[in-house]
Structure 1
């Protein structure tokens, strides 16, 4: 345990409070059993250490461990927690729970047996608390940490600090909201940078190497996180990589599941499972015409890459502007509202219809529709039902 403590101190000493995620202040840290899941690279580990510093947790009463440490090949989480509590520990931060076979059962036992211990754990976006053994769903309060919003990117770049906006406010007051922002900064001059490399906070380490690292992160998630969560064979993982390569060159498109499964060389149901895995890893986004009652074997109406950076990291051809715009809109909006495919416009959010395009996008496709909006790229300020695309990056 002493080596774990040394590693914890070393990482804590390297942590800074200069750039904080907004979700730091959305999480109710008073809960004694908190889960934080998210894609690789979203910043979960950094969030844990910043929590320690921000809340000034007593160093001697706090311990951070990562379950991919070799220590846990011969020691259990429960035995560690028991020893830690016996030595006066009060705050146990556990990283990478999906790397440990019986994590849900042992966490449940820790929660039940040590009522004075706060546990904060992180895991892959693949983990399903509601399906985990030990009935964690009624014990843990679980949050998902997404990549940076455009608003957070501007803050991380020291360009400007801005408040979050609600979707209703954007739809009804977009001109009023956009004007003071445009008076302070020129959002379009930073928007392309965000679309290219600004989604994951680790771009700060090296912008030039970001896309290469993003590709490597995706491959690690496929090769390591996915098999540990779904017990997949090496051959299945290779098929999923092949599928991702096809999607990266083709999205957005309406999938022909039969033809796609034949091309990959897997059964139809296996292909639908593969698409679900890719979405759970936050690599692909599936869109349906109606999000109510979606079955595991239901074919999606359209497929997208989860955020624009993935286009630049995985595609061997120049990214299509229309695809980038749509991916950005889906990515930012779906964090706060369910989004559906629409045959009339591009997307539906509740009763509202959205058509995405450039600054010269016309009203033709939605002219006879109620609650319909044009979401236009390359404009700073909108007019009536025409709203600047960048403003949707302020939703979280």
Structure 2
């Protein structure tokens, strides 16, 4: 972002950057003092202020709120980043009405569409002819679940000519997920290094350590998520399996979810037409590679052995289900403004299950059932239709 501003000939004096893990910012008052001094010296018609790793400063929102309310930030665009989403989110909630709303962005592993673009533009892992032409066709193909069902089906027909190449790329995505460092490993070493795996696992446990929780307990809970992957599960069953208090399990799962490591997929209450937080949940990782990382670390297997075992097993459809649920969640999620629990659920009754019910803007639902196999038979496509009709 800073480079982009400089390329647009923004005066370098009007761009201020500070990293709170490189410069010792002692308190929010100290942060206010630093920014105030900068603006008094270099303040212009428009200043850009970038504050990295702001979550290292306790109660940083007090500082920015004080500067904003005093008018010092009237001619400023302030961008703050932090690697601890939980604390970042808590502080943001303390700044209502100060330009924060709808300006919060969470950096997550890339989804499949972005992955296709990145792989074809910046990588040589896959070799195809006429890359630019393929990408232009991709640009014109977008399926919106808010549209009529007929237009959605027509979009699928348009995608079919691109299917062979998309399938090749998807097979790679199933192994690497949306993590750039994994693709880099494959490109450089033709394999994924355990050093990279350990680095990613440490990132997964990063918030746990910063929140003064036990990494060993976290590892056990992550292992249970893998064992029960994509299956309805309760906090109590995990707690019972690990001899833990259910509140402890809930606490760790909330940290993982707010750190964007997992998705907790809730069941819908048909009678109330809303989410049921008490029923069993389905838990997915936000990126397929997180699953492989946990399996590798917990089992002691080399990551490449884990990939061979799971990419050719009957477990693969569950990995794909997690990818689809994450994609649906991202379609219209906006931090604080619109949580995914307002539009995405799963359905289950005594006759069957629907992997995802997507609530459209017109309050109607579209059911999404994920089947990843060559020839799915009709018995795999049975759904509890009566209950769904009740909601429609």
Shift of 1:56: 5.0
The answer to whether the Cα contact below 8 Å between 2:354 and 2:383 also exists between their aligned partners in 1 is no
- Indicate conservation of the 8 Å contact 2:266/2:275, yes or no: no
Per-residue Cα deviation, 1:344-392 (whole angstroms, up to 9, x for no partner): 32221121212111242234343673898xxxxxxxxxxxxxxxxxxxx
Partners of 1:212 and 1:102 in 2: CA distance: 35
1:85 aligns with 2:39: yes
Residues 1:76 and 2:30 aligned together = yes
Q: Which string of whole-angstrom CA distances, capped at 9 and with x for unpartnered residues, describes residues 112-168 of structure 1?
A: 331222101123463366743783132113233332121111111224253354223
* 2:287 corresponding residue in structure 1: 307
Between the two proteins, the alignment pairs up a number of residues equal to 318
Displacement, 1:180?
A: 4.7
Q: Which of residues 21, 37, 51 is equivalent to 1:94?
A: 51
Q: 1:93 touches 1:119 (CA, 8 Å); kept in 2? A: yes
1:145 to 107, 116, 123: 107
- Taking the TM superposition and a 5 Å limit, the aligned residue runs for 1:120-131 are 120-124=79-83, 126-127=85-86, 131=90
Q: Which runs of 5+ in 1 are unaligned?
A: 1-47, 373-396
CA distance in 1, matches of 2:23, 2:217: 30
Greater Rg by CA: 2
2:232 alignment partner in structure 1: 254
Following TM superposition, the consecutive aligned residue runs of length 4 or more in structure 1 with deviations greater than 6 angstroms are none
Where does residue 36 of structure 1 map in the other structure? none
TM-score normalised to structure 1 length: 0.69
Report what 1:213 is aligned to: 196
Whole-angstrom CA distance in 1 between matches of 2:323 and 2:7: 31
5+ residue gaps, structure 2: 122-130, 297-305, 333-342, 360-364
Contact 1:211 1:312 in 2 (8 A): no
Greater shift in the superposed pair: 104-113 or 360-369: 360-369
Deviation at 1:340, TM superposition (A): 0.8
Corresponding residue for residue 62 of structure 1: 15
Task: Specify the SS of the correspondent of 2:230.
Answer: coil
Match of 1:269 among 228, 233, 247: 247
Task: Give deviations 1:276-314, integer Å, cap 9, x for gaps.
Answer: 11111111211111384666xx45422222221222222
User: Do the aligned partners of residues 82 and 315 (structure 1) sit closer, same or farther apart at CA in structure 2, a change above 3 Å counting?
Assistant: same
Which digits, 9 at most, give the CA deviation of each residue in 1:17-76, with x for residues without a partner?
xxxxxxxxxxxxxxxxxxxxxxxxxxxxxxx44653575543221122222214325893
Q: Which has the higher contact order (CA 8 A, sep 6+)?
A: 1
Cα shift at 1:97: 2.0
What TM-score do you get using the length of structure 2 for normalisation? 0.70
Q: CA deviation at 1:252?
A: 2.1
Q: Which residue of structure 2 lines up, in the alignment, with residue 196 of structure 1?
A: 175
- In structure 2, which of residues 353, 356, 379 is the aligned counterpart of residue 347 of structure 1? 356
From the superposition, tell whether residues 111 and 226 of structure 1 become closer, same or farther in structure 2 (CA, over 3 Å): farther
* Contact 1:126–1:280 (8 Å) recurs in 2: yes
Give matches, 1:1-396, under 5 Å.
48-49=1-2, 51-52=4-5, 57-73=10-26, 76-89=30-43, 90-113=47-70, 114=72, 115-124=74-83, 126-127=85-86, 131-132=90-91, 135-139=94-98, 140=100, 141-157=103-119, 158=121, 159=131, 160-161=135-136, 162-163=138-139, 164-169=142-147, 171-183=149-161, 186-203=165-182, 205-207=184-186, 208-209=191-192, 213=196, 215-223=198-206, 225-228=207-210, 231-233=211-213, 236-290=214-268, 292=274, 298=278, 300-316=280-296, 317=306, 318-319=309-310, 320-337=315-332, 338-343=343-348, 344-350=353-359, 351-357=365-371, 358-364=373-379, 365-366=381-382, 369=385
Alignment partner, residue 30 of structure 1: none
Q: String of CA shifts for 1:221-257, please: whole Å, max 9, x gaps.
A: 423x3454xx424xx3331122112323431222243
